[in-house]
Amino acid sequence: MSTPFGALQQVDAGLLNVGYAEAGPTAGPAVILLHGWPYDIHSFADTTPLLAAAGYRVIVPFIRGYGTTRFLSDDTVRNGQQAALAADVIALMDVLGIEKAILAGFDWGARSADVVAALWPDRCTALVSVSGYLIGSQAANEAPLPPQAELSWWYQFYFATDRGRAGYDKYRHDFNKLIWQLASPKWHFDDATFARSAAAFDNPDHVAIVIHNYRWRLGLAAGESQYDDLERRLAALPAIAVPAITLEGDANGAPHLDAGAYAGKFPGKYEHRVVEGGIGHNLPQEAPQAFAQAVIDVAGF
Protein backbone atom coordinates (compact mmCIF):
# COMPACT_ATOMS: atom_id res chain seq x y z
CA MET A 1 0.00 0.00 0.00
CA SER A 2 1.48 3.35 -1.06
CA THR A 3 1.28 6.00 1.66
CA PRO A 4 2.96 9.31 2.50
CA PHE A 5 4.65 7.37 5.32
CA GLY A 6 6.35 4.93 2.96
CA ALA A 7 5.76 1.20 3.26
CA LEU A 8 3.44 0.15 6.05
CA GLN A 9 4.38 -2.56 8.50
CA GLN A 10 2.26 -5.39 9.88
CA VAL A 11 2.60 -7.11 13.25
CA ASP A 12 0.53 -9.59 15.27
CA ALA A 13 -0.52 -7.86 18.49
CA GLY A 14 -3.16 -9.26 20.80
CA LEU A 15 -6.27 -10.10 18.79
CA LEU A 16 -5.09 -8.31 15.68
CA ASN A 17 -2.61 -8.18 12.87
CA VAL A 18 -2.02 -4.45 12.99
CA GLY A 19 -1.05 -2.30 10.04
CA TYR A 20 0.97 0.71 11.05
CA ALA A 21 3.32 3.39 9.84
CA GLU A 22 6.58 4.11 11.62
CA ALA A 23 8.94 7.06 11.29
CA GLY A 24 11.83 8.61 13.17
CA PRO A 25 14.75 7.08 15.07
CA THR A 26 14.00 3.71 16.65
CA ALA A 27 15.87 4.78 19.78
CA GLY A 28 13.86 7.99 20.12
CA PRO A 29 11.10 8.51 22.69
CA ALA A 30 7.95 6.82 21.43
CA VAL A 31 4.83 8.64 20.30
CA ILE A 32 1.70 6.71 19.31
CA LEU A 33 -0.79 8.63 17.17
CA LEU A 34 -4.37 7.32 17.24
CA HIS A 35 -7.04 8.19 14.70
CA GLY A 36 -10.80 8.18 15.09
CA TRP A 37 -13.99 7.64 13.09
CA PRO A 38 -14.38 8.14 10.20
CA TYR A 39 -10.73 8.89 9.56
CA ASP A 40 -7.49 6.91 9.32
CA ILE A 41 -3.72 7.17 9.67
CA HIS A 42 -3.57 9.92 7.03
CA SER A 43 -4.88 12.36 9.62
CA PHE A 44 -1.26 12.28 10.82
CA ALA A 45 0.46 12.40 7.43
CA ASP A 46 1.84 15.89 8.05
CA THR A 47 2.27 15.60 11.83
CA THR A 48 4.42 12.47 11.62
CA PRO A 49 7.41 13.94 9.75
CA LEU A 50 7.44 16.94 12.10
CA LEU A 51 7.72 14.64 15.12
CA ALA A 52 10.21 12.33 13.42
CA ALA A 53 12.42 15.32 12.61
CA ALA A 54 12.25 16.30 16.28
CA GLY A 55 13.72 12.93 17.23
CA TYR A 56 10.65 10.90 18.15
CA ARG A 57 9.89 7.32 17.20
CA VAL A 58 6.40 7.75 15.75
CA ILE A 59 3.94 4.84 15.48
CA VAL A 60 0.66 5.39 13.61
CA PRO A 61 -1.60 2.30 13.64
CA PHE A 62 -4.82 1.58 11.84
CA ILE A 63 -7.24 0.82 14.65
CA ARG A 64 -9.42 -2.30 14.51
CA GLY A 65 -11.77 -2.18 11.55
CA TYR A 66 -9.64 0.14 9.41
CA GLY A 67 -7.06 -0.14 6.66
CA THR A 68 -4.76 -3.14 6.72
CA THR A 69 -5.49 -4.13 10.33
CA ARG A 70 -7.21 -7.51 10.54
CA PHE A 71 -8.49 -9.83 13.26
CA LEU A 72 -6.39 -12.95 13.64
CA SER A 73 -9.47 -15.14 14.16
CA ASP A 74 -12.82 -15.22 12.41
CA ASP A 75 -14.33 -16.14 15.79
CA THR A 76 -13.29 -12.96 17.61
CA VAL A 77 -16.19 -10.65 18.43
CA ARG A 78 -16.06 -7.51 16.30
CA ASN A 79 -16.13 -5.35 19.38
CA GLY A 80 -15.90 -1.57 19.31
CA GLN A 81 -16.19 -0.84 23.04
CA GLN A 82 -13.73 1.62 24.56
CA ALA A 83 -11.85 -0.89 26.73
CA ALA A 84 -11.23 -3.20 23.77
CA LEU A 85 -9.79 -0.41 21.64
CA ALA A 86 -7.52 0.73 24.47
CA ALA A 87 -6.36 -2.85 25.10
CA ASP A 88 -5.31 -2.96 21.44
CA VAL A 89 -2.93 -0.06 22.13
CA ILE A 90 -1.33 -1.87 25.06
CA ALA A 91 -0.97 -5.05 22.99
CA LEU A 92 0.75 -3.12 20.20
CA MET A 93 3.13 -1.43 22.66
CA ASP A 94 3.98 -4.79 24.15
CA VAL A 95 4.87 -6.45 20.86
CA LEU A 96 6.88 -3.43 19.68
CA GLY A 97 8.83 -3.36 22.94
CA ILE A 98 7.56 0.10 23.89
CA GLU A 99 7.44 0.40 27.66
CA LYS A 100 6.12 3.96 27.73
CA ALA A 101 4.89 6.35 25.07
CA ILE A 102 3.33 9.74 24.58
CA LEU A 103 -0.20 9.00 23.41
CA ALA A 104 -1.90 11.53 21.16
CA GLY A 105 -5.16 11.30 19.29
CA PHE A 106 -8.56 12.64 18.36
CA ASP A 107 -12.10 11.26 18.34
CA TRP A 108 -12.00 7.49 19.08
CA GLY A 109 -8.22 7.76 19.22
CA ALA A 110 -8.36 10.42 21.92
CA ARG A 111 -10.69 8.20 23.92
CA SER A 112 -8.29 5.26 23.67
CA ALA A 113 -5.41 7.51 24.70
CA ASP A 114 -7.45 8.79 27.65
CA VAL A 115 -8.28 5.24 28.72
CA VAL A 116 -4.67 4.09 28.60
CA ALA A 117 -3.55 7.18 30.51
CA ALA A 118 -6.20 6.58 33.18
CA LEU A 119 -5.89 2.80 33.59
CA TRP A 120 -2.22 2.22 32.68
CA PRO A 121 -0.47 5.48 33.64
CA ASP A 122 2.84 3.63 33.90
CA ARG A 123 2.66 3.07 30.13
CA CYS A 124 1.82 6.70 29.26
CA THR A 125 4.57 9.31 29.43
CA ALA A 126 2.16 12.12 28.56
CA LEU A 127 -1.11 12.73 26.73
CA VAL A 128 -2.41 14.95 23.94
CA SER A 129 -6.19 14.63 23.60
CA VAL A 130 -8.35 16.53 21.15
CA SER A 131 -11.68 17.45 22.76
CA GLY A 132 -10.34 16.52 26.16
CA TYR A 133 -11.73 13.86 28.45
CA LEU A 134 -13.71 11.34 26.39
CA ILE A 135 -13.99 8.36 28.74
CA GLY A 136 -17.62 7.34 29.08
CA SER A 137 -19.91 4.66 30.43
CA GLN A 138 -23.13 2.99 29.40
CA ALA A 139 -24.79 4.19 32.60
CA ALA A 140 -23.86 7.80 31.94
CA ASN A 141 -25.12 7.50 28.36
CA GLU A 142 -28.57 6.49 29.62
CA ALA A 143 -29.25 10.09 30.58
CA PRO A 144 -31.04 12.04 27.84
CA LEU A 145 -29.51 15.24 26.55
CA PRO A 146 -31.30 18.47 25.58
CA PRO A 147 -32.85 18.25 22.10
CA GLN A 148 -30.19 20.30 20.32
CA ALA A 149 -27.46 18.09 21.78
CA GLU A 150 -29.34 14.93 20.80
CA LEU A 151 -29.65 16.26 17.25
CA SER A 152 -25.87 16.43 16.93
CA TRP A 153 -25.72 12.70 17.66
CA TRP A 154 -28.15 11.82 14.84
CA TYR A 155 -25.86 9.15 13.39
CA GLN A 156 -25.72 7.31 16.71
CA PHE A 157 -29.49 6.81 16.59
CA TYR A 158 -29.33 5.85 12.91
CA PHE A 159 -26.74 3.19 13.71
CA ALA A 160 -29.05 1.75 16.37
CA THR A 161 -31.36 0.48 13.62
CA ASP A 162 -31.04 -2.32 11.08
CA ARG A 163 -31.72 0.29 8.41
CA GLY A 164 -28.78 2.31 9.72
CA ARG A 165 -26.39 -0.62 9.61
CA ALA A 166 -27.46 -1.46 6.06
CA GLY A 167 -27.28 2.19 5.05
CA TYR A 168 -23.81 2.66 6.46
CA ASP A 169 -22.61 -0.50 4.74
CA LYS A 170 -24.07 0.55 1.39
CA TYR A 171 -23.12 4.23 1.52
CA ARG A 172 -20.10 4.23 3.82
CA HIS A 173 -17.99 6.50 1.60
CA ASP A 174 -20.74 9.08 1.05
CA PHE A 175 -21.76 8.82 4.70
CA ASN A 176 -18.25 9.45 5.97
CA LYS A 177 -17.66 12.30 3.56
CA LEU A 178 -20.76 13.95 5.00
CA ILE A 179 -19.39 13.46 8.53
CA TRP A 180 -16.12 15.09 7.46
CA GLN A 181 -18.06 18.08 6.12
CA LEU A 182 -20.27 18.43 9.20
CA ALA A 183 -17.44 17.93 11.70
CA SER A 184 -15.07 20.35 9.95
CA PRO A 185 -17.32 22.90 8.23
CA LYS A 186 -14.46 25.26 7.33
CA TRP A 187 -12.02 22.61 6.11
CA HIS A 188 -12.15 22.58 2.31
CA PHE A 189 -10.56 19.20 1.65
CA ASP A 190 -10.43 17.92 -1.91
CA ASP A 191 -11.72 14.62 -3.27
CA ALA A 192 -8.24 13.10 -3.42
CA THR A 193 -7.64 13.82 0.26
CA PHE A 194 -10.88 12.12 1.23
CA ALA A 195 -10.33 9.18 -1.14
CA ARG A 196 -6.91 8.50 0.39
CA SER A 197 -8.52 7.95 3.81
CA ALA A 198 -11.73 6.39 2.48
CA ALA A 199 -9.79 3.35 1.29
CA ALA A 200 -9.41 2.42 4.98
CA PHE A 201 -13.20 2.02 5.27
CA ASP A 202 -13.14 -0.94 2.89
CA ASN A 203 -11.78 -3.08 5.71
CA PRO A 204 -14.04 -6.17 6.02
CA ASP A 205 -14.68 -5.48 9.72
CA HIS A 206 -15.24 -1.75 9.44
CA VAL A 207 -19.02 -1.66 9.51
CA ALA A 208 -19.27 -4.19 12.33
CA ILE A 209 -16.82 -2.25 14.51
CA VAL A 210 -18.48 1.13 13.91
CA ILE A 211 -21.99 -0.17 14.55
CA HIS A 212 -20.95 -2.05 17.69
CA ASN A 213 -19.12 1.01 19.05
CA TYR A 214 -22.18 3.24 18.91
CA ARG A 215 -24.67 0.57 19.96
CA TRP A 216 -22.49 -0.38 22.93
CA ARG A 217 -22.40 3.24 24.09
CA LEU A 218 -26.19 3.28 24.31
CA GLY A 219 -26.40 -0.13 25.97
CA LEU A 220 -27.95 -1.64 22.83
CA ALA A 221 -25.09 -4.11 22.32
CA ALA A 222 -23.25 -6.14 24.92
CA GLY A 223 -19.54 -5.86 25.54
CA GLU A 224 -17.27 -8.81 26.26
CA SER A 225 -16.79 -10.17 29.75
CA GLN A 226 -13.00 -9.92 29.65
CA TYR A 227 -13.39 -6.13 29.64
CA ASP A 228 -15.95 -5.91 32.46
CA ASP A 229 -13.44 -4.97 35.15
CA LEU A 230 -11.88 -2.29 32.96
CA GLU A 231 -15.30 -0.87 32.14
CA ARG A 232 -16.27 -0.78 35.82
CA ARG A 233 -13.17 1.30 36.49
CA LEU A 234 -13.89 3.56 33.53
CA ALA A 235 -17.51 4.03 34.60
CA ALA A 236 -16.17 5.81 37.68
CA LEU A 237 -14.70 8.39 35.26
CA PRO A 238 -11.17 8.22 36.72
CA ALA A 239 -8.88 11.22 36.73
CA ILE A 240 -5.90 11.35 34.36
CA ALA A 241 -2.83 12.38 36.30
CA VAL A 242 -0.16 12.12 33.59
CA PRO A 243 1.02 15.39 32.01
CA ALA A 244 -1.61 16.40 29.47
CA ILE A 245 -2.50 18.95 26.83
CA THR A 246 -6.05 19.04 25.51
CA LEU A 247 -6.80 20.70 22.19
CA GLU A 248 -9.92 22.05 20.51
CA GLY A 249 -10.38 23.52 17.08
CA ASP A 250 -12.28 26.80 16.95
CA ALA A 251 -14.63 25.40 14.30
CA ASN A 252 -15.27 21.85 15.54
CA GLY A 253 -18.67 20.86 14.23
CA ALA A 254 -18.78 17.50 16.02
CA PRO A 255 -20.37 17.06 19.47
CA HIS A 256 -17.93 18.17 22.14
CA LEU A 257 -17.90 19.62 25.63
CA ASP A 258 -16.58 22.98 26.71
CA ALA A 259 -13.09 22.58 28.17
CA GLY A 260 -14.30 23.80 31.54
CA ALA A 261 -16.45 20.71 31.86
CA TYR A 262 -13.47 18.35 31.98
CA ALA A 263 -10.49 20.41 33.17
CA GLY A 264 -10.89 18.93 36.67
CA LYS A 265 -10.23 15.46 35.27
CA PHE A 266 -6.59 16.43 34.68
CA PRO A 267 -5.11 17.06 38.17
CA GLY A 268 -1.49 16.86 37.01
CA LYS A 269 0.46 19.27 34.82
CA TYR A 270 -2.19 20.36 32.35
CA GLU A 271 -2.91 22.89 29.65
CA HIS A 272 -5.81 23.47 27.29
CA ARG A 273 -5.28 25.08 23.90
CA VAL A 274 -7.77 26.36 21.35
CA VAL A 275 -6.41 26.11 17.80
CA GLU A 276 -7.73 28.97 15.70
CA GLY A 277 -8.14 29.49 11.98
CA GLY A 278 -11.34 27.58 11.22
CA ILE A 279 -9.97 24.28 12.56
CA GLY A 280 -12.50 21.49 12.84
CA HIS A 281 -12.74 18.01 14.32
CA ASN A 282 -9.87 16.41 12.39
CA LEU A 283 -7.39 18.68 14.14
CA PRO A 284 -4.14 16.80 13.40
CA GLN A 285 -4.77 16.94 9.66
CA GLU A 286 -6.16 20.46 9.64
CA ALA A 287 -3.52 21.93 11.96
CA PRO A 288 -0.55 19.53 11.94
CA GLN A 289 1.95 22.06 13.25
CA ALA A 290 -0.19 22.86 16.30
CA PHE A 291 -0.78 19.17 17.00
CA ALA A 292 2.90 18.29 16.67
CA GLN A 293 3.87 21.21 18.88
CA ALA A 294 1.49 20.00 21.58
CA VAL A 295 3.21 16.61 21.55
CA ILE A 296 6.64 18.20 21.78
CA ASP A 297 5.53 20.58 24.51
CA VAL A 298 3.79 18.00 26.68
CA ALA A 299 6.96 15.90 26.61
CA GLY A 300 8.65 18.72 28.47
CA PHE A 301 6.02 19.11 31.19
Per-residue model confidence (pLDDT) at position 218:
97
> Which residue range(s) make up the domain with 292?
9-299
- Asked if the structure places residue 186 within a domain, the reply is yes
- Asked if the structure places residue 2 within a domain, the reply is no
- What average pLDDT score do residues 115-143 get? 97
For the chain, what is the domain count? 1
- Asked if the structure places residue 3 within a domain, the reply is no
pLDDT digits (tens, 9 = 90+) for 160-192: 999 999 999 999 999 999 999 999 999 999 999
- Asked if the structure places residue 1 within a domain, the reply is no
Is this structure's pTM higher than 0.95? yes
- Asked if the structure places residue 24 within a domain, the reply is yes
- Asked if the structure places residue 4 within a domain, the reply is no
As a whole number of angstroms, the distance between CA 44 and CA 35 comes to 8
Q: Is the pLDDT of residue 235 over 90?
A: yes
Instruction: Say how many Å lie between the first and final Cα of the chain, rounded.
Output: 37
As a whole number of angstroms, the distance between CA 20 and CA 238 comes to 29
CATH number at residue 157: 3.40.50.1820
Calculate the CA 135 to chain-centre distance: 12
Q: How confident is the model at residue 3 (pLDDT cuts 50, 70, 90)?
A: confident
- What average pLDDT score do residues 215-229 get? 98
Q: Is the pLDDT of residue 131 over 60?
A: yes
- Asked if the structure places residue 158 within a domain, the reply is yes
* Polymer length of the chain: 301
Answer positive or negative: Cα dihedral of 99, 115, 160, 131: negative
Per-residue model confidence (pLDDT) at position 2:
59
In sequence order, the 6+-apart residues with CB closer than 8 A to the CB of 291 are 47, 104, 128, 130, 247, 283, 284
